[in-house]
Each structure stands twice: as C-alpha cells, then as structure tokens.
C-alpha cells in the first residue's frame, strides 16, 4: 500500500517512515526542509530514508502551496495519509504567529482537500497534548473539553481536530487524530528539552529550568509513539452508532472520526528527568532556575486506555531507558 507522510524529514516523521518501510509499505515523504532548526539534521534523516530505494520517495514541498499539494495527490495516488508536518514549538509561536497559520491551518486544509478529492481511505494526523490547555483534571482524557488552549500552537492543533471532523462528516472518509505527549528519543528536535539539556551538560554550559523545576510531563518514547501511529493507520474508524447528539463526546462521532491520546500514562517530574540525563551523561548540570513561561502548562498526564482498546497497544518505555538511548545516539551523531 502507498502511504503519504507529511513532515517526513522531521523527528516523528522520519521514524514513522522507517517503520512503514520495514512493514512493507511504499512511502511518499513530503517536507519543506524549513530552517526552524538546523536543516542538516533533517537532511541526515532523509539520507537514511532514501537508502530504501523505491520503497521511499521524497518530494520537497510546502503544505501551504495549494497547487503543489494538489499535484502530489494527483500524481502519487496514495491510499492513506499520515500528516505529521506542522510548525511546532510553544514559545516560537509568540514571535512568529503567521507561520503557524500558514503551516498548521492552511497547510492542513490542503491535506484535507487532497484526501477529499482523491478518495483517501484513512487520514491519521498529529495533534498534541497542548490542546488540554487550562484543563487541570488529570489524567487527561479524550472525552474532556479541550477548548482553552494556552498558546497559538495548541489553538492551531485544536483547529485541526475540528477541521478534520467536518471533512469526515461531510465526505465520509475515516480520520484519526493523535494527541502526542512530549515525544523524545534519538534523532529528536534540537529545540526540545532533552536535546538542549544533553548538549549543555556535555559542554559544561548551564541549563535553563523553567517553572523553577516544578514541571511534570508525560514523556513518551519515540518508538512507542510510532508503533501507535502505524497500528492506528491500519484500523479505520467507523461511525459510532451510540454517539448521542444530546450529550456529544468530542473524541468520537456519528462520522468515522476518532481522537486518541498517545502518552506513557505516567508523570515524570522535571527534576527527575534532569537527574536521568545527568546519570547517563556522568556529569552534573549547572541549573539556572526561571519562572513559568507564557503559554506553558505545568503538568501533562495521558489516559491512554482508549487507544489501548482500539489498537491493543500501550506505550511502556521507561524514562531511564529512553534517555539513555537518546544520549547514546547524541554522542555517536555529534562525536561527543
């Protein structure tokens, strides 16, 4: 089966493409290779993917380019689509809001239109735990209201969920949204805490610890996330016959639409996370404690029972194991 993967040169996109290829899929990977972070890391990921020969084809394209996206769908004729391309980053959104609308809203619209016009069987798209925003009822469940985002990035991803539902309702194709919880692991993004902390500790530079270290996150290892993505792709959601318009649940519908959390179902305190890095690296971090940053949430914690029921899988990689694997990759890749 031919699968179109957007954001193929990104962290999650790269790992997803590798997993699909290993399982026998033919993958068409899209990316615009923007400079939000060092493009050489994206190119290095792509170099590994293109070694798979005719099992992987890369097309450089910006999702916001309507004509180019229509051309891709028309020429490549995928059967299913995984949309992982997005402008990420919570703090960056305050400085560059227009980029988020162009990529995450306009770009996603072009993906939806491609699915509609070319009879795609199943669209799986990335959402985020950030949509829960001001919600303080832990663990986060998909049937909770998620309409109070704290930053523009979260608002665009919540908009994606609503846009996807409308297309699923109107045109009848299956759609699944996945709310990722703090994904980490080898080949991770340089703007994320694990990468920043590891780099600075190894270099002897201080690390910035926001909210005075009182954060807690549901860190989810990349291999677990990818397993969830691929298994989800293979299970097409159908209309829920028990869905009640008088008491509507936001995670399911009378349309073939679902939303699931993908988290590790455990909270890790930020200071323990840093301790895991220090132990693996073999050096103590010099910490600079700072206040909570605008747009940040203090805690995330996923209830993953719904996706476990749907695809018979629960993420289970311990933080100590995942951090060690990242540090091993970092040392090898950068020759540290």
Residue 335, token pair as written in the block: 């020759």
333 belongs to a structural domain: no
Q: How many Å apart are CA 123 and CA 170, to the nearest integer?
A: 14
Inter-residue contact 69 to 111 (CB < 8 Å)? yes
**Radius of gyration of the chain from Cα atoms?**
19
Q: What angle do CA 100, 101, 103 make, to 5 degrees?
A: 65
Residue 236, token pair as written in the block: 């097409």
Q: How many Å apart are CA 100 and CA 89, to the nearest integer?
A: 10
pLDDT of residue 113: 98
291 belongs to a structural domain: no
pLDDT of residue 223: 98
pLDDT of residue 224: 98
pLDDT of residue 107: 97
Number of domains in the chain: 1
pLDDT of residue 94: 77
pLDDT of residue 311: 95
Q: How many residues does the chain have?
A: 336
62 belongs to a structural domain: yes
For the chain, residues with pLDDT lower than 50 are none
Q: How many Å apart are CA 141 and CA 146, to the nearest integer?
A: 10
Q: How many Å apart are CA 26 and CA 55, to the nearest integer?
A: 5
CB contact set of 23 (below 8 Å; sequence gap of 6+): 230
Q: How many CB atoms lie within 10 A of CB 22?
A: 11
156 belongs to a structural domain: yes
pLDDT of residue 72: 98
128 belongs to a structural domain: yes
271 belongs to a structural domain: no
Say which of 153, 167, 257, 260 is annotated catalytic: 153
206 belongs to a structural domain: no
Structural domain boundaries, residue 227: 2-181+222-265+302-316
Inter-residue contact 172 to 4 (CB < 8 Å)? no
- Please confirm, yes or no, whether 153 is among the known catalytic residues: yes
pLDDT of residue 24: 96
- For residue 21, the domain's CATH number is 3.40.50.720
DSSP state letter for 242: T
Q: Does an H or E element contain 207, and which?
A: strand 207-209
Q: Does an H or E element contain 280, and which?
A: helix 270-281
pLDDT of residue 95: 82
105 belongs to a structural domain: yes
pLDDT of residue 93: 79
Residue 139, token pair as written in the block: 């663990």
């Amino acid at each position: 089966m031919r699968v179109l993967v957007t954001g193929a040169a990104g962290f999650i996109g790269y790992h997803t493409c590798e997993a699909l290829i290993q399982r026998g899929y033919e993958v068409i990977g899209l990316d615009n290779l923007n400079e939000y972070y060092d493009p050489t890391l994206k190119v290095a990921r792509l170099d590994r993917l293109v070694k798979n020969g005719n099992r992987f084809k890369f097309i450089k394209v910006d999702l916001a380019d309507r004509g180019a996206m229509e051309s891709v769908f028309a020429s490549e004729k995928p059967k299913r689509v995984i949309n992982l391309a997005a402008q990420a980053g919570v703090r960056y959104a305050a400085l560059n809001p227009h980029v988020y609308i162009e990529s995450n809203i306009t770009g996603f619209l072009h993906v939806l239109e491609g699915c509609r016009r070319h009879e795609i069987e199943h669209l799986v798209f990335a959402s985020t735990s950030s949509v829960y925003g001001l919600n303080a009822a832990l663990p986060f469940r998909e049937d909770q209201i998620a309409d109070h985002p704290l930053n523009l990035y979260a608002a665009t991803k919540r908009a994606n969920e609503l846009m996807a539902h409308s297309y699923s309702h109107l045109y009848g194709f299956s759609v699944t949204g996945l709310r990722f919880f703090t994904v980490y692991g080898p080949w991770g993004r340089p703007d994320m805490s694990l990468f920043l902390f590891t780099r600075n500790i190894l270099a002897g530079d201080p690390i910035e610890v926001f909210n005075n270290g009182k954060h807690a996150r549901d860190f989810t290892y990349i291999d677990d996330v990818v397993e969830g993505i691929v298994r989800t792709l293979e299970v097409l959601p159908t209309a829920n016959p028990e869905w009640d318009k008088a008491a509507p649940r936001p995670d399911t519908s009378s349309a073939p639409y679902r939303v699931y959390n993908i988290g590790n179902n455990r909270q890790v305190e930020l200071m323990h996370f840093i301790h895991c890095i220090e132990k693996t690296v073999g050096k103590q971090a010099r910490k600079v404690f700072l206040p909570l940053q605008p747009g940040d949430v203090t805690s995330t914690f996923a209830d993953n029972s719904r996706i476990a029921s749907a695809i018979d899988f629960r993420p289970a990689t311990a933080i100590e194991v995942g951090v060690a694997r990242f540090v091993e990759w970092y040392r090898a890749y950068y020759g540290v």
